[in-house]
A and B are shown apart, each in its own frame.
Chain A
Amino acid sequence: EIVMTQSPATLSVSPGERATLSCRASQSVSSYLVWYQQKPGQAPRLLIYGASTRATGIPARFSGSGSGTEFTLTISSLQSEDVAVYYCQQHNIWPLTFGGGTKVEIK
């Protein structure tokens, strides 16, 4: 199975600053990579699909990049409502696999 590794585990960022989250796949997943946001006590929400396409209603401060094995989620200007755990998921090869998550906090 493809192992998805996210780093860092926790990221502390000041309001208005940039947050950069990484996701690495153990083998190529092409662009079949998505990002989810999970706020405390809530279900996950789709942010990015196809590695770089924002889902409906997602603010422009969220952007995704990468292909193959290296991917990045960037929050250009962190807002308080962005405090959450962010997960990547590959859907190139079965079984579907998620990364372990990156927790984003306000510094």
Chain B
Amino acid sequence: EVQLVESGGGLVQPGGSLRLSCAASGFTFSSYAMSWVRQAPGKGLEWVSSITGSGGTTYYADSVKGRFTISRDNSENTVYLLMNSVRAEDTALYYCARVRGASSAWHFTDWGQGTLVTVSS
């Protein structure tokens, strides 16, 4: 059974940093690209970032480019999202999601339960 467990969310001040983690199990981690998708309170889904199975290629939404960094450790079956220079508009539930393939078919077959990030002073 595929399991994705996010952690690392919490309250952070504007301009601060936070690192989210997503621990994966139940599949061959390095064979799948991974992504982060967020959902602001009461709002819809917004894609944030993706990384290929090898970790060699990354993609970012314009809203986070230059501030967030996605990475993965295939030996630890974990994907990360380092969030720098956070803003109030980054407040959201952050989901970790498994992509259908290693570097293509960029939609999400499995989702974690999310970790909440609140940006406030």
Contact = CB atoms under 8 A, between A and B. Distances in A.
B80 to A, nearest CB: 19
Interface stretch (A17-25, A42-50, A67-75, A76-84): A42-50
Interface in B90-121: 95, 100, 105-114
A6 to B, nearest CB: 9
Give chain A's interface residue range (CB within 8 Å of chain B): 20 to 34
Interface residues of B, number: 22
23 contacts: A1-B62, A34-B108, A36-B45, A38-B45, A43-B112, A44-B45, A44-B108, A46-B107, A46-B110, A85-B44, A89-B45, A89-B107, A89-B108, A91-B105, A91-B107, A94-B59, A96-B50, A97-B47, A98-B44, A98-B45, A98-B46, A100-B44, A101-B45
Interface of A: 1, 34, 36, 38, 43-46, 49, 55, 85, 87, 89, 91, 94-101
Interface of B: 35, 37, 44-47, 50, 59, 61-62, 95, 100, 105-114
Given A44-B108, A89-B47, A98-B47, 17 more contacts: A1-B62, A36-B45, A43-B111, A43-B114, A44-B45, A44-B111, A46-B107, A46-B110, A87-B44, A89-B45, A89-B108, A91-B106, A95-B61, A95-B62, A98-B46, A99-B44, A101-B45
